[in-house]
Structure 1
Amino acid sequence: MTHWLYLHLRAIAHAVRRLAGQPLGTLLSALVVGIALSLPAGGLLLLDNVAGMARGLSGTPEISLFLELDAGEAEVAAIERRLKDEAALASYRFVPRDEALAQLERSGLGDVLGGLTGNPLPHAFVATPASEDPAMFERLAAEMQTWPRVAHVQLDSAWVKRLHALLELGRSAVLMLAGLLGLALVIVTFNTIRLQILTQRQEIEVSRLLGATDRFIRRPFYWFGGLQGLLGGGVALGTVWLGVRALAQPVAALAESYGAVFAITGPGPQESLAVLAFAAFLGWLGAAISVRRHLAGG
């Protein structure tokens, strides 16, 4: 284990010396990788922020349960117990028929309601699901419609479906872009490692004559590609954060014009680690393909 760690530390040191020995080339490669990765990373971040802003502007989607007009306190209590036991719900509230009528009167319909001899409105519950998945809404609505004394269930999920459809379309487009750019970055690393192998051809031959194994020779190139990708991932995160800082004020002004409070957020720790890991993997993959292609058979 100690010998294995020593070999990898030695390979890392060798790769770092190579990167530091050509600062301009390292900087340009990191910029190419970083700018390319910042496009899909920023796109996914933008989609997440747009979804949060849309939820803030449109409110939380809800499910309304309207009971039958003659439903009494026992039936109301039974429905409330069912709602309390439903794990898929985040919260619920009871709207008595008298309160619903008072809300309509306050909304400017007092003249219309004044001609009624009684209260035509039923008791109701307004439930908020824990998830905004449209399939969850449909399942809950279908289940609640079968409950005793429930006359009608109304979904507030039309905008949720449209939002999910748009976000899925956006994510698919961003993932396709990430795949294409990832392929381009693998090619860039492939050519970089190929040039490294060509410039070190004599050194590699001497190492083989001295008994170096293929694994020993290839290991620094793997680390070179991985570290180059990691540097590019850092540039991508920096680019995304600069974009977040630049858009923070315009987005806040837009949200304020709609009467909402919203602030665009940058990538969190998990997203940042994912970008760095993906960039390092692309660098390693390009290096692995290049090494296997140009060092095969010696």
Structure 2
Amino acid sequence: MNAWLSQHQAALSSALRRLWSTPLNTLLSLLVIGIALTLPGFGYVLLDNLRDLGRNASGVQQISLFMQIDASKKDVDEISTRLRQAPNSTWRFVPKEEALKRMQTSEGMADIVASLPRNPLPDAFIIEPANTEPEKLEILRREITGWPKVAHVQLDSAWVKRFDAFLKLGKLALWMLAGIFGAGLVAVTFNTIRLQVMAQAAEIEVARMIGATDAFIRRPFYYFGALQGALGGLLAALLVIGALRLLAGPVGDLAGLYGASFSLRAPGFAAIGVLTGAGAFLGWLGAQLSVSLSLRKFD
């Protein structure tokens, strides 16, 4: 066990020395890897923020329930009881008197409301379901429509469906982009390791002559690829966080113009770890392919 740990420690030290021995090449490689991972990483964070924006947008996930004009207090209480029994949803009651007062405060509506012989507005409930998937919202709307003394149930399902379709399309495009740049990252690591194998051809020959195993020869290159990829992934995470901080001010100002309060949410430690781990895996994969092909000429 001690020998195995010593071998891995020696391989890790060798990989670190190789990274440090050519700082300019290492920096350029890290920039290429970091930029390749930044684009899909930033796309994921952007879609995540758009999802939050859609959930928090006023009216997007609301169902408006309008009672019949002749509905009594008993009918309203029955609807309230049904809503209390509904799981994972919040709601509020808007009496017809409150709705009329709001209409009176609207520009140009005061004289019209004053000329009305009676209040034409019905009692209403504003429901905010916890599950905002378009299919679930439509099922809930149909169920509420069948309740007694319910005149109309309004749901902007078309907007929700369009927004959900946009997010799905964005996810698909993001996966395609991640695949393309992931392949580019593997290619960068492949070429870097191939050049290192060619430069150390004499050392590899001598090591094989004195009985070194393939695992012993390959191990430093694997560590090099994984370390380079992990550092590139960490750099990508820093670039994403930096870009979000630059955009935070303009996005907040734009949201304020529409009377909303919204701020971009930066990736957490879990997302940073995933990005770093993805870079390490792709770097290791590129090293694996490169060493396997490059060492064939020594057989």
TM score, norm. by length of structure 1: 0.87
Alignment of 1:171-186 (within 5 A): 171-186=171-186
CA separation of 1:266 and 1:77: change in aligned 2, threshold 3 A: same
Give the match for residue 219 of structure 2: 219
The answer as to whether partners of 1:56 and 1:260 remain within 8 angstroms in 2 is no
Q: Return the alpha-carbon distance in structure 2 between the equivalents of residues 231 and 144 of structure 1.
A: 54
Deviations 1:78-120 (A, max 9, x none): 322332232342x110122332233333335344444544433
Contact 1:57 1:258 in 2 (8 A): no
Aligned partner of 2:271: which letter? Answer: E
CA distance in 1 between partners of 2:74 and 2:4 (Å): 72
Alignment length, in residue pairs?
A: 297
For 1:245-284, list aligned pairs within 5 A. 245-284=245-284
Q: 1:203 to 1:138 in 2, by over 3 A?
A: same
RMSD: 2.5
Q: CA deviation at 1:273?
A: 1.3
Q: How has the CA–CA distance of structure 1 residues 87 and 217 changed in structure 2, closer, same or farther, with 3 Å as cutoff?
A: farther
Q: Which residue of 2 aligns with 1:137?
A: 137
Distance 1:143 1:4 in 2: 65
Residue number in structure 1 paired with 2:28: 28
Structure 1 residue aligned with 2:195: 195
SS in structure 1 of the partner of residue 109 of structure 2: helix
2-structure distance, mates of 1:75, 1:168: 41
Checking the alignment, whether the CA contact within 8 Å between 1:62 and 1:157 is kept in structure 2 is: no
% same residue: 51
Find out whether 1:101 has 2:100 as its counterpart: yes
Aligned partner letter, 1:95: V
User: 2:4 and 2:136 mapped to 1: Cα distance?
Assistant: 50
SS at 2:93 equivalent: strand
Please give the TM-score of this superposition, normalised by the length of structure 2.
Answer: 0.87
- Alignment partners' CA distance in 1, 2:224 and 2:94: 65
CA distance in 2, matches of 1:103, 1:245: 39
* Residues 76 and 181 of structure 1: CA distance in aligned 2, closer, same or farther (over 3 Å): same
Match of 1:18 in 2: 18
Q: Deviations over 1:266-296 (max 9, x none)?
A: 2222221121111111111111111222224
Name structure 2 gaps, 5 residues minimum: none
Cα contact 2:54–2:60 (8 A) shared by 1: no
Larger deviation, residues 113-122 vs 220-229: 113-122
Measured in 1, the distance between the counterparts of 2:150 and 2:3 equals 71
Structure-2 separation of matches of 1:263 and 1:205: 58
Is the contact between residue 45 and residue 266 of structure 2 (CA under 8 Å) also seen in structure 1? Answer: yes
**Alpha-carbon distance in structure 2 between the residues aligned to 1:209 and 1:277:** 36
Per the TM alignment, residue 56 of structure 1 is displaced from its structure 2 partner at its CA by: 5.8
Name the CA distance, whole Å, in 1 between partners of 2:44 and 2:162.
18
User: Could you tell me which amino acid in structure 2 is paired with residue 14 of structure 1?
Assistant: S
CA apart distance, 1:39: 1.6
In structure 2, the partner of 1:67 is 67
Tell me: CA distance 1:86–1:215, structure 2 relative to 1, closer, same or farther (3 Å).
farther
Alignment CA distance shift 1:2-1:112 (3 Å): farther
Query: In the alignment, does 2:243 pair up with 1:243?
Result: yes
Asked whether the equivalents of residues 60 and 160 of structure 2 are also in contact (C-alpha less than 8 Å), the reply is no
The 1:85/1:5 distance shift into structure 2, 3 A limit, reads farther
- Map of 1:153 onto structure 2: 153
